[in-house]
Structure 1
Amino acid sequence: MGASGSVTAQGLGRARRAAKGPAVAMAARAGFAGRGVLYLLIGFLALRIAFADGGGKQADRTGAVAEIAEKPFGMGLLWLLGVAVAGMAVWRLSEGAFGQAGPDGRKASKRAMAAGRCVFYGFVAYSVLSFAGGEKSSGGTSSDESSKDVTAKALEWPHGQWIVGAAGLAVAAAGVWIAVRAVLRTFHKHLKMSELSSRARKCVDLLGVFGGTARGVVFTVAGAFAVTAAVRHEPGRAKGMDDTLRSFTDTPAGPWLLVLIAAGLVAFGFFSWTNAKWRKV
């Protein structure tokens, strides 16, 4: 091995040690805490909508950011939230580069999923930080408007209907996957369950199963709307999180199904906070 190869190997070794070090672990825990804040706010906003008291707020990330911004010291809180979510992106980047915790953490499929999550959380962090920095357009576009705009542009592409339909199926499948994993409690292998008391385990199980299932249902329904938009070639059929949540009030259960889903999103917010404390990183 030449000098350049030795330097490269040493650099990779330092990067790998840093990825497994306390700084990245702290970033991951901050990220879970930030994700919890967003889901708690989205869930509470959805509850207000269910009881006809939405106040014009959107039950999505945009609505959550706007809700924080209106509070005392709101912009400062948004900076903290954005940095926290950026920590999640950094942690997912380290997992994509060097693998996750656990015996099968270096599998290509898991590293690819971590890389995808890094991009997603990086975008969320950028939008929150941009809004905090004064770019109101970064947080002002609702998920519904974005979904319709993106769908309309995609439908104009060659084979656009197939592309939108495939994307919708992927989102719906991801929702089913999220819900099934929640019901099967696969999150146990990611948490330090031995450190939890019996009561804490029951609480974590309730939050993880209920919250994860509700989150999965929302993804599945949103994906189904995208598929419908593709089949009918109608971009307006695509829905973001806000319109997806509002659609639950159109079922025979009326607003009560939205209440159930909203409570599940609140539960997922609390579950994210349990991950901030007990997640293996």
Structure 2
Amino acid sequence: MVDKSEKVVWLARVGFAVRGLVYVLLGYLALTAGKADVDDGAGDSFRVLNAIPGGPVVLYLAAAGLVGYALYRLSGAVFDIERKGTSWKGRAARIGYLASSVIHLVMAWTAMRIASGARGAGKDSSSGMAGSVLNFPFGETLLGLIGVGLLAAAAFQARSAVTAGFMRHISSSAPIFTCWTGRAGHAARAVVMVLIGWSLLRTAWFGQSNEVVSLGKAINNLRDMGAGFHVVAAGLLLFGVFSIITARYRVIPDPAPTKGLRAISI
């Protein structure tokens, strides 16, 4: 009989694969299509999937995987299953995991809405969601914490791109090109995380939800970089390939808060 923690691990693997597919499609759209085709980020990728035969079923399965991945990241933030500790560096990493959990829950919700044919589904709702959070008590603080978490995650992503530390948590039987694919992907993802995290901090400071940028908008904001934009877009596509590879070869500890768990990277 499969216990609950093992089910979450398998859902996390599906989540890695779904995340990979989203980034592959997003990078491809950024490289080959116009600005409007990537304005919503993950939602644009989900609309592509929804258009294929059996698309809604695929999206519901994708949403389940993203929820599993979000729960896995939440376990890292709350139970410290990756053993980051309570140092400032460990706390920053755990806040990053919390931010990642929230982002992937939003992605799962978007996938379900598109699959169900909900009105307005797939439209960029970043500003609207931020506005809703600002209406809650301490909403500015919450958005600020998520922004800090994303900036911390961006720093870890950049370090991983340089050191390839993520390979410590990949099986030795993974394809030989996994390392360089991961390095390029982590570097590109660090760039867009900085843009999104900074937009959340500006929203928390000024209290204006229109400061928030989605993944798609963050990519579009780089278009004026010319060749730099194409490098980042290609890097995001490669991050998708890396995520699909790691869905199979990632060493994932039991999400239950037990002793002796191995740490993994963002």
Asked whether the two chains share a fold, i.e. TM above 0.5, the reply is yes
Deviations 1:134-167 (A, max 9, x none): 3244x3331xx42x33555666789987776665
Contact 2:99 2:146 in 1 (8 A): no
Would the alpha carbon gap of residues 162 and 43 (structure 1) be closer, same or farther in structure 2, given more than 3 Å must change? same
Decide which of 171, 179, 191 is 1:217's aligned counterpart: 191
In structure 1, give the amino acid aligned to 2:235.
Answer: G
Does the 8 Å contact 2:95/2:149 carry over to 1? Answer: no
CA separation of 1:233 and 1:124: change in aligned 2, threshold 3 A: closer
Native 8 Å contact 1:42 1:59 kept in 2: no
Q: Does structure 1 residue 47 correspond to structure 2 residue 31?
A: yes
Amino acid paired to 2:243: S
Aligned residues: 247
Gaps of 5+ in 1: 1-13
User: What TM-score, normalized to structure 2?
Assistant: 0.75
- The verdict on how the C-alpha distance between 1:233 and 1:188 changes in structure 2, with shifts beyond 3 A counting, is same
Structure 2, unmatched stretches of 5+, are 253-266
Q: Which amino acid aligns with 2:26?
A: I
Structure 1 residue identity aligned to 2:17: A
Secondary structure in structure 2 of the residue aligned to 1:280? coil
User: What is the alpha-carbon distance in structure 1 between the residues aligned to residue 29 and residue 246 of structure 2?
Assistant: 23
How far apart are 1:81 and its partner, in Å? 1.6
Relative to structure 1, the CA distance from residue 66 to residue 133 in structure 2 (aligned partners, 3 Å threshold; closer, same or farther) is: same
Q: Which residue of 2 aligns with 1:274?
A: 245
1:89 pairs with 2:70? yes
Matching of residue 208 in structure 1 with residue 186 in structure 2:
no
Structure 1 residue 127 and structure 2 residue 127: aligned?
no
Out of 66, 69, 76, which is 2:47 matched to? 66
Change in Cα spacing, 1:128 to 1:260, as seen in structure 2 (3 Å) is same
Q: Which deviations, in whole Å up to 9, do the C-alpha atoms of 1:33-84 show, x marking residues without a partner?
A: 11111111111121134xxx35645350111111111223222221222222
Give 1 or 2 for the bigger CA radius of gyration. 1
Tell me if structure 1 keeps the 8 A contact 2:26–2:38. no
**Of 125, 147, 150, which aligns to 1:171?**
150
1-structure distance, mates of 2:101, 2:211: 28
Aligned to 2:10: 26
Aligned-partner residue type, residue 198 of structure 2: A
Counterpart of 1:18 in structure 2: which amino acid? D
Residue in 2 aligned with 1:141? 123
Distance 2:141 2:5 in 1: 41
Cα 1:86–1:231 shift into 2, 3 Å: closer
Q: What amino acid does structure 1 have at the position aligned with 2:58?
A: L
Distance 2:24 2:129 in 1: 27
Structure 1: which amino acid aligns with 2:123? T
Please tell me whether the aligned partners of residues 23 and 237 of structure 2 are also in contact (alpha carbons under 8 angstroms). yes
> More displaced, 84-93 or 67-76?
84-93
Aligned residues of 2:196 and 2:214 also touching (Cα < 8 A): yes
C-alpha change, 1:260 and 1:59, in structure 2 (3 Å) is farther
CA distance, structure 2, for counterparts of residue 83 and residue 247 of structure 1: 31
Seen in structure 2, the aligned counterparts of structure 1 residues 179 and 71 have a Cα distance that, compared at 3 Å, is same
Q: What is the alpha-carbon root mean square deviation over aligned residues?
A: 3.5
Which residue of structure 1 aligns with residue 236 of structure 2? 265
SS of structure 1 residue aligned to 2:39: coil
Q: In 2, distance between residues paired with 1:30 and 1:159?
A: 34
In the superposition, relative to structure 1, how do residues 153 and 30 fare at CA in structure 2: closer, same or farther (>3 Å)?
closer
Q: 1:33 to 1:164 in 2, by over 3 A?
A: closer
Instruction: Calculate the TM-score normalised by the size of structure 1.
Output: 0.71
Partners in 2 of 1:112 and 1:123 — Cα distance?
17
Q: Matched residues in 1 for 2:184 and 2:237: separation?
A: 10
String of CA shifts for 1:202-251, please: whole Å, max 9, x gaps.
x111111100110011011222344455666654343222221111122x
CA separation of 1:59/1:43 partners in 2, compared to 1, >3 Å: closer, same or farther?
A: farther
Residues 31 and 229 (structure 1 numbering): CA distance in 2 closer, same or farther, change over 3 Å? closer
Q: 3-state SS of the aligned residue for 2:222?
A: helix
